[in-house]
Structure formats: C-alpha cells, structure tokens
C-alpha cells in the first residue's frame, strides 16, 4: 500500500489496514441508498423516517450542551439589555406624548378642580407630579438598573448552568437539516 492510500484526506493520520477480524461496513451514503431501495421495493407510499421529501437523506446530529461561556453570555445579555432599555425609554416617551396630545392631563386637572374646589384646586397641575421630565428621568434610572441586573442575572445563570451540567452532563439536543 502506498502512503497516499493509508492516510485520510482530513487529518492526514495513517489508517490501519483492515484485518481479518475487522468487518467492513458500507458508508453512510450507501446505507441510506439501501434503506431507500428497501422502502421503495416494499411498496410503502409514505415517506421514510430517514428520507426527506425529495428522496434525499436527512442529516441528524445529536449534541450535548455541556458548557456555556459566561463571558459571551455577559456580553450578549449586556447588549440585549441596552436594546431593551432604549425600547423602554422611547416607548414611555411616546406614550406620555400621546397622553399629552389627547388632553388627558388637562382632563385630570379639571376633574381634580371639580372634586376639591376652592382656591387650592386652581393651582393644582398634574404635570408638577407626573411631568414628562420626571417620568423620563425615572424611566432612565429604572433602565440603567435593569441593564445591570439583567446582565448580572444572565451571567450568574451561565455559571449555575455550567455547575449543573458538570454534575448531570448537560442538555441533549438533536439537530436535523431542513432542505
């Protein structure tokens, strides 16, 4: 045998020659062709479990998730929580602007003046308590706290998952190729 025949193309490691007690199996492609031929000969009209609609085999991979990198989880959680904070600030601003344009604050002021009455009610303005600047300031503070907390919780969750996976082996995942 030449050196070229005893090495594989991928890793260039020598392949041991087959011995008399080693059974040679057909490749995966050949096995799938045989299964397909058997299914066709037996007259099955439905699809085989291992064959896609167009007669091509479906590739499957069973994987086990044993470790999650906490650093990448922290970076991803940080970016997603920043995006959530931006969405929160913008949505609160839009809601408060719509409520102001709809006249809700003037309606609340007139309702309070009708209920309370007197001179003190004439000076009451709901915007002194729930003005846009106060609400936006509060929303920004809550968003910053959420960024810190969500990042910390996601990173802690990655550490806890890694410890649990070290004990029980992780989560088994089966992936199939959709063609």
pLDDT of residue 127: 81
Inter-residue contact 147 to 78 (CB < 8 Å): yes
pLDDT of residue 24: 53
Instruction: Please give the average pLDDT of every successive group of 10 residues along the chain, which has 179 residues.
Output: 47 54 59 69 53 70 92 97 98 94 86 76 77 92 98 97 93 85
Q: Is 62 helix (H, G, I), strand (E, B) or coil?
A: strand
- HEC per residue, 83-118: HHHHHHHHHHHHHHHHHHHCCHHHHHHHHHHHHHCH
pLDDT of residue 6: 47
DSSP for residue 79: H
Give domain limits for the chain: 1-58, 70-176
| Model pTM score | 0.60
Integer-rounded Cα Rg, in Å, for the chain is 33
């Amino acid at each position: 045998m030449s050196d070229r025949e005893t090495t594989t193309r991928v890793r260039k490691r020598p392949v041991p020659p087959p011995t008399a007690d080693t059974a040679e199996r057909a490749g995966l492609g050949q096995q799938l062709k045989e299964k397909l031929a058997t299914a066709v000969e037996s007259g099955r009209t439905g699809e085989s479990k291992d064959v896609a609609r167009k007669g091509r085999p479906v590739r499957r991979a069973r994987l086990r998730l044993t470790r999650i990198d906490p650093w990448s989880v922290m970076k991803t959680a940080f970016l997603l929580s920043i995006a959530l904070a931006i969405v929160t600030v913008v949505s609160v601003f839009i809601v408060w602007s719509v409520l102001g344009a709809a006249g809700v604050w003037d309606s609340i002021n007139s309702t309070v003046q009708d209920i309370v009455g007197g001179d003190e009610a004439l000076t009451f303005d709901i915007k002194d308590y729930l003005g846009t600047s106060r609400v936006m300031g509060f929303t920004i503070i809550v968003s910053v706290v959420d960024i810190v907390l969500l990042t910390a919780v996601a990173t802690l969750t990655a550490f806890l998952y890694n410890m649990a996976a070290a004990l029980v082996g992780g989560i088994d995942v089966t992936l199939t190729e959709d063609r």
